[in-house]
Structure 1
Amino acid sequence: MDRRRFLVLLPAFLLVSQAASAQEEDGTIRLRDLYNKDTSFSDLALASEGQRIIVNGFMAPPLKAESTFFVLTKMPTAVCPFCEPGQTWPDDILPVYTRRIVDPIPFNVPMRTSGILELGEYVDPETGFFSALRLVEATYERG
């Protein structure tokens, strides 16, 4: 490999190695690793957009019954975190959209969630819930 080619490929290598180091050994991504300190999306989030990722956390109480949506939180919370456009987006929650109606898991039981990461502002037409990022086509299990 010549020097010019090495210098061209170096930024891509650094991005991939940084993204890999932010993942747990089992491939799980931590919620906090999706954001920079200024709450902008991290390089890991940008590199993972459109890909299936795994995130561990806790299910916040559902916003409504018979829904295909829930909020994954970093820590157990007995109250749903509501977000509206224009407010600072919290870096410790992740909206999750499933294909089937969600079977609620108690708020203090750890869970593992897998889904396709979407970035960008979105307001759910059914619930009015605003999100800066979300998992879609998600599956989840206790764990």
Structure 2
Amino acid sequence: MTKPDALRRRTLLGLLASLPAAVLVPRAFAADTEIGFDDLYGSVGVLGLNFSETVKALNGKGVTMSGFMAPPLKAEAVFFVLTEIPMSICPFCSSDSDWPDNIVVVYLDAAQTFVQPGTRIAVSGTLEVGTWTDPETGFVSRLRLRNAHYWSV
């Protein structure tokens, strides 16, 4: 390594060391588009909620969302539900509970330890739009993030 290269490397490392840890946490994949829960649906029709044009255009593409992890249905689940607001109990376990319109199902690319309710997280994955039934669990979703990973924010 030449002296100018070594100096640039030391300068860069010094700069990185001076940044707050929050800046160094990965926010999203470079190609991901950040979307929020307000971006999911565009209107309400006779058959219920209609997906927004933004969501339709992002189908099959990488997105990043932030929210809260609903308590998993079981500890070894390969998926969890991302919610807009924190929930301390499973919102889908009561027969009289309406299915929230501000959720997204997240299928992980690898096992991760679930976080405590109330912990804000960011999730990156490939957006899938449309109703789908998980053949293993029977869980029905309208929106999913596949091959996803998450981190606390």
TM-score, normalised by the number of residues in structure 2:
0.69
- Could you list the per-position Cα deviations for residues 11-41 of structure 1 after superposition, in whole angstroms to 9, with x for gaps in the alignment? xxxxxxxxxxxxxxx9521112111131210
- The residue identity in structure 1 corresponding to 2:90 is C
- Which residue in the other structure is 2:37 paired with? 31
- The residue identity in structure 1 corresponding to 2:131 is E
CA distance in 1, matches of 2:109, 2:142: 20
Indicate whether 1:76 and 2:82 are aligned: no
- Which residue in the other structure is 1:118 paired with? 128
CA distance in 1, matches of 2:74, 2:99: 21
Indicate whether 1:108 and 2:97 are aligned: no
Shift of 1:60: 0.4
- Which residue in the other structure is 1:7 paired with? none
- Which residue in the other structure is 2:147 paired with? 137
Contact 1:33 1:42 in 2 (8 A): yes
Shift of 1:111: 0.3
Could you tell me which runs of 5 or more consecutive residues in structure 1 were left unpaired when the two chains were aligned.
1-25
Shift of 1:48: 0.4
Identity of aligned residues (%): 46
TM-score, normalised by the number of residues in structure 1:
0.73
Larger Rg: 2
CA distance in 2, matches of 1:44, 1:80: 29
The Cα RMSD (Å) is 2.1
Could you tell me which runs of 5 or more consecutive residues in structure 2 were left unpaired when the two chains were aligned.
1-31
Over 3 Å counting, the alpha-carbon distance change for 1:102 and 1:67 in structure 2 is farther
- The residue identity in structure 1 corresponding to 2:59 is E
Indicate whether 1:94 and 2:100 are aligned: no
Q: Of 42, 47, 66, which residue of structure 2 is paired with 1:56? A: 66
- Could you list the per-position Cα deviations for residues 72-106 of structure 1 after superposition, in whole angstroms to 9, with x for gaps in the alignment? 000000122329xxxx8632110000122241111
- The residue identity in structure 1 corresponding to 2:149 is T
The runs of 4+ residues in structure 1 deviating greater than 3 Å are none
- The residue identity in structure 1 corresponding to 2:72 is P
Contact 1:59 1:73 in 2 (8 A): yes
- The residue identity in structure 2 corresponding to 1:28 is E
